[in-house]
Structure 1
Amino acid sequence: MRELPAIVVAPVDASLREAVMRLRVHPAQQDFVGIISNLLAEADNSRSSEPMAVLHGATPIGFYCIETRSRSIVGRDFGPTALGLRAFFIDADWQGRGWGAQAMTAILADLATRHPAARRLVLTVNCSNHAALTLYRRCGFEDSGELYHGGRAGPQHLLLRALPG
């Protein structure tokens, strides 16, 4: 049996940008994530945002941003060793196959390499986005018990995950 390519992550550079721009989510998910062109434009305009592609082999199947200033996640600081995770999604055509969990494993491995001093990953997830909440909990995120009310689609859980180090 042929082994499938591993899921890896890489910064969105000129060689990936066009393919990343074609990524999309289901319409019902757009309020949770946003539109890829807007996400890339926001990242381009922020020195603390690192746009990243989730790759299956050489094919982009997902996207996320690492925020080197965790304050950008909910407007408060989580310390100098905290990073933020924003806009994580798997393309609509690739959803439902377990790629999200594999992508999260690749994200955490990448953070250990590119941000070895980081000790915490912070994110928010919409309260009605049950699939994402389940994924994040399976991947070791803990609910802080706080809700963030600044999201465009309603209240969000604030989730935290310790990073090894």
Structure 2
Amino acid sequence: MEQSISKCITRLEFYQPKYLHLFEEYYLSEEQSRFTAQPIDAIRACENDQERIPILILYEDKIAGFFVLHGWNGAKDYSNNKQALLLRAYSVDSSFQGKGIAQKSLELLPAFVKEHFPGKNEIILAVNQINTIAQHVYKKCGFVDEGIRAMGRQGPMYILHMKF
């Protein structure tokens, strides 16, 4: 007997300008907006910096989230590892939260980086100390607090590392 399996697929894909209009409906709560950039603003920053690469988080072929991988010019503020990438502007659209998309996208990230950024061996991110929900998700997915701290626009931040 053949079983029908629901395919709820989360995947990562490089942003392309044809997707820009889809971010008009992208929603972050006021609380989320305190800690991360709106995707449209992050995309504009990418247009002016070749080291910033915008990435889509797709869930069942719909844009569910977004982040930027920033090369050495972003990572050097937090690490001496020239093979590190900085994860920035990470978010999941409010309407897609609670589905495990954040966790799945972060679990997919090391393989994505290995495939598309050969030679890179670490992902770094900065998370606000008061953003405990994000800290929990990042740590659950393999990011480690090595004791590095920085000051951000919303106060002190933990610098988390994922080495591979």
- Between the aligned residues of both structures, percent identity stands at 21
- Taking structure 1 as reference, are residues 76 and 158 closer, same or farther at Cα in structure 2, changes over 3 Å only? closer
Provide the residue aligned with 2:85 in structure 1: 83
- CA RMSD of superposed structures (Å): 1.6
Where does 1:103-114 land on structure 2 (aligned, <5 Å)? 103-114=105-116
Q: 2:119 aligns with which of 96, 117, 120?
A: 117
- Taking structure 1 as reference, are residues 92 and 74 closer, same or farther at Cα in structure 2, changes over 3 Å only? farther
Q: 1:50 aligns with which of 37, 48, 53?
A: 53
1:76-98 CA-partner distances (Å, limit 9, x unpaired): 54322111100111101111221
Deviation, 1:37, is: 2.1
1:58-78 CA-partner distances (Å, limit 9, x unpaired): 210000000122x42462543
Contact 1:74/1:148 (8 A) holds in 2: no
- Taking structure 1 as reference, are residues 21 and 117 closer, same or farther at Cα in structure 2, changes over 3 Å only? farther
With the length of structure 1 as denominator, give the TM-score of the two structures: 0.90
Provide the residue aligned with 1:28 in structure 2: 31
Where does 1:144-155 land on structure 2 (aligned, <5 Å)? 144-149=146-151, 151-155=152-156
SS in 2 for 1:155: strand
SS in 2 for 1:137: helix
Deviation, 1:4, is: 2.7
SS in 2 for 1:8: strand
- Taking structure 1 as reference, are residues 16 and 5 closer, same or farther at Cα in structure 2, changes over 3 Å only? farther
Q: 2:70 aligns with which of 67, 71, 81?
A: 67
Are 1:158 and 2:159 an aligned pair? yes
Larger Rg: 2
One-letter amino acid of the structure 1 residue matched with residue 150 of structure 2: Y
User: Which region of structure 1 is more displaced relative to structure 2, 34-43 or 128-137?
Assistant: 34-43
Consecutive aligned runs of 4 or more in structure 1 exceeding 6 Å deviation = none
SS in 1 for 2:155: coil
With the length of structure 2 as denominator, give the TM-score of the two structures: 0.90
- Gapped regions of structure 1 (runs ≥ 5): none
One-letter amino acid of the structure 1 residue matched with residue 162 of structure 2: R
